[in-house]
Amino acid sequence: MKTRNYLLPYSYKKVGMWMFLPFAALCVCLFFSVSLPEIKVPWIAIGDDIFYKGEANLITTLGMLGLLVSLCFIALSREKDEDEMTGQIRMQSFVWSLWFTAIILALGILFIMGLDFLTFTCAAIYLYFLVYILKFNLTMKAIRREGK
Q: Which residues bind other proteins (CB under 8 A)?
A: 81, 83-86, 88, 143-144, 146-147
CB-wise, 49 or 146, nearer to other proteins?
146
- Closest contact distance (angstroms) between CB of 89 and other proteins is 9
Q: Is 83 left (phi over 0), alpha (psi -120 to 50) or beta?
A: beta
Distance CA 125, CA 37 (A): 25
What length is written for the chain?
148
Q: Are 15 and 72 in contact (CB under 8 A)?
A: no
CB-wise, 87 or 108, nearer to other proteins?
87
CB-wise, 50 or 148, nearer to other proteins?
148
- Closest contact distance (angstroms) between CB of 6 and other proteins is 19
